[in-house]
Amino acid sequence: MNLPDPSSLADRAERALAACGVEWPAGDLSAHTPITGTKLRTVRPHSGREVDDAVEAAHRAFLTWRTVPAPARGAVVRRLGSLLTEHKEDLAEIVTLEAGKVTSEALGEVQEMIDICEFAVGLSRQLYGRTMPSERPGHRLSETWHPLGVVGVISAFNFPVAVWSWNTAIALVCGDSVVWKPSETTPLTALACHALLRRALADCEAPIDVHQLVVGGRDVGEALVDNPLVALVSATGSVRMGRAVAPRVAARFGRSLLELGGNNAAVVTPSADLELAVRGIVFSAAGTAGQRCTSLRRLIVHESIADKVVGRIASAYAQLQVGSPFDSGVLVGPLINEAAYEAMQKSLSAARGDGGTVVCGGDRVGESGFYVTPALVRMPAQTEVVRAETFAPILYVLTYTDFDDAIALHNGVPQGLSSSIFTLDQREAERFLAADGSDCGIANVNIGTSGAEIGGAFGGEKETGGGRESGSDSWKAYMRRATNTVNYSDQLPLAQGVEFG
């Protein structure tokens, strides 16, 4: 496996950052590339006091921003979308350098930002309330939606820009300001997006402080979470992180929107189109080196076709090219770091200890960076290692006899993000989508578990946190609701027939 020269990667990062207009001093935080494991550049992080200053600046900007008409706020997001389109290749370059995504996936993530900007612009003219019939004559009952305040966004390394855009584009048209704390693993993508959004704000003569960027580790995140001026904390990460964030925000009566772990499964029934199923399974399990929150981690296959399905997946895995994400034909890039590799090896060892058989994969490729071949593991039962999420390309295969057992296996994990079923039987498909079927926030038929579109609400149940981002009516999380009663009569009747006088 031939990897690029580390110095050339650092040069590529500097060129892409400069093209996006980034001006940020060097400092104590090092940004590394998983492609070679080497340093790209350093960044000055923020202190806890600087986080508070950023929140206060965002709050002051919010007091003005909330009074700007929503369509005018949408104009800022429209401008951001045009800048993202102009710098699509620059941003994708940084995503690949920092997160290790193959070029097509990196370009797809930037396109996702562009798409959510288009969605949010339309939304800026559709922040609808309702009018309800009043039981009192001469009265009108309605509801209105108002900007919430400062929104704190904490994002993860695996989607370093898309998840930020889901929150920020929607929050801005809703009239909120945003303070973004990116993963300390991927600060450079954040610098580029922040620079482009600041440019969009300036071009539209909007309050420049409506978006703030705070860079650093856990102390920076804690300062953001604990600040009483932050009305909503939208946090993406591990279940462990969510367990720390939610109580701290709740203790000060703030709101939290959590997108946490996923242990996503696909059911393959005897009627399934296996050609279609294998393609969907392989992308969902091996894409982004298994480092998507929606990556496929469990495969629940009817016992009558299990050997055939496993054979086809193993054959497809053998054809996957693992290597530098910049190389043509490569479909699987590196794991983010050594810790991810060690976690994968630990899980594979535990699976063997539970009686599992590694059909293929799990081997490290090369000596620089942490490249692995996707692993396919047959398990006799859904043991603890299968019930836990490992952020790496491991696909556990379980078998079932009865469809009810398949549903029970599917739902028998603490997480509840994404799910799918491959079947040509309408009854099975509809049952999977019914109340007693998949218990996940996302349930698909005849596609894999990853690759959600921005038009639908994204999020999951149980330990996934219950939050919803992106499309549908997810905008309501970023606003506050007021119920209004207007008396246009000259009388004062009370509700429920109460008399007082």
What stretch of H or E contains 201? helix 187-203
What is each CA distance from 149 to 69, 233, 249, 309, 310, in whole angstroms? 15, 11, 15, 51, 51
| β-pair type (364-365, 371-372) | antiparallel
CA distance 82 to 88: 10
Residue among 231, 191, 206 at smallest CA distance from 91: 191
CA distance 263 to 249: 25
Type of residue at 498: V
Supply 429's token pair. 């498909």
Residue among 409, 414, 313, 399 at smallest CA distance from 356: 399
Residue among 141, 164, 138, 142 at smallest CA distance from 153: 164
CA distance 322 to 392: 14
CA distance 122 to 118: 7
Which sequence positions are flagged as catalytic? 259
Tokens 């190389």 sit on residue: 327
47 SS3 class: coil
267 SS3 class: strand
CA distance 404 to 431: 10
CA distance 45 to 154: 15
Do the beta carbons of residue 196 and residue 80 sit within 8 Å? yes
